[in-house]
A = this chain, B = another copy of it.
Amino acid sequence: MNKQEKKLLSGKPVAARILNFCAESIAKRLSAGLAAPGLAIVRVGANEEDLAYETRILRDCSKIGIRPVTFSLPATISAGEFIVHIQKLNQDPSVQGILVFRPLPEHLDTDEIAHSIAPEKDVDCMNPINLKKLITGDRSAVLPCTPEAVIEILKHYGHNLSGRNVVIVNRSLVLGKPLALMLLNENATPTICHSRTVDLKKITRKADIVVVGVGQACYFDGTFFAPESIVIDVGINTKEDGSMSGDLDFEDVAPVVDAVTPVPGGVGAVTTAVLLRHVVNAMEAGNFSKNPEYSCTSSCSSI
């Protein structure tokens, strides 16, 4: 790895390595005469971010041989109907993973729906059983994809986590909280910051590694970091000119830190790969149908 590669923590080789592992596992299955694994993507409505993520997933599925089925549910769906839908997917032996896009519309009880997903098919850690494994540090847990992608990138580029001070600027259930818990398993020392943190800059400047996810383009300039900082940008924002940006003012930050992820081409690409690895892991765990016919027809794609 040259100096430039060490400084720019591109997600692309990380994602490629993971997808390659997935493709090999699936090829072995197929050569044994078994069916490819299936991923059910359940989306309510059609917001732009969800559609962009879905497009990435579908592209990567086709690269490696996972059979995706997208279910686009109407925004008026009742919780009861939603759960019946999930239960069918739970019972469908051709579906190894179920991904429900969040946040769900307010009239739906996310908890109730999360609980209805079979834990072994819950590829983005929504079911309480998997959340419990996350908090207890059970290494059999299916982890939330975004924080797992952050750790994958750091490890790929040889950044040891044990004993490092890691500051996370995000306290959500999909990033800050699970990442802090996962970092404890790696023997790192995590600090969770947020909008009410006092003198954030003082805290980020002293960390070895800073993970930002505030959802505001160019929120962090170079003054938030030190020359030895390793910075992971989880933000995905659309700027006024329509271009994509992370939370960092990248041009300002990149020259002053030790290493930084780009957006696009950073955490996002790895998140998708990690999600698909969860599907392959579910397949490897035996959550797999010997019937190559996919039991859910295209008529399922909207209910």
Which residues of chain A have a CB within 8 Å of any CB of chain B?
Answer: 111, 128-129, 131-132, 134-138, 162-165, 171, 173, 177-178, 180-181, 184, 187, 189-194, 196-198, 203
Number of copies of this protein chain within its complex: 2
Q: Give Cα A132 to B193, complex, Å.
A: 21
Residues of B within 8 A of A178 (CB): 135
Residues of B within 8 A of A197 (CB): 163, 189
Residues of B within 8 A of A128 (CB): 128-129, 131-132
Q: Give Cα A111 to B141, complex, Å.
A: 13
> Please, could you name 15 A-B residue pairs with CB atoms under 8 Å apart, sorted by A?
A128-B128, A135-B173, A135-B177, A137-B173, A162-B196, A163-B198, A165-B203, A180-B180, A184-B192, A189-B192, A189-B194, A189-B196, A189-B198, A189-B203, A190-B191
Give the residue of B111, B136, B192 whose beta carbon is less than 8 angstroms from that of A190: B192
Contact between chains at A184 and B189 (CB < 8 Å): no
Question: How far is the CB of A159 from the nearest CB of chain B, in Å?
Answer: 15
Residues of B within 8 A of A163 (CB): 196-198
Contact between chains at B190 and A184 (CB < 8 Å): no
List the 3 shortest-distance A-B pairs measured between CB atoms, nearest first: A128-B132, A187-B196, A191-B191
Q: Give Cα A129 to B189, complex, Å.
A: 27
Contact between chains at A187 and B194 (CB < 8 Å): yes
Given contacts A129-B128, A131-B135, A191-B189, contact A171 B184 (CB under 8 A): yes
Give the residue of B111, B132, B189 whose beta carbon is less than 8 angstroms from that of A131: B132
Q: Give Cα A16 to B201, complex, Å.
A: 41
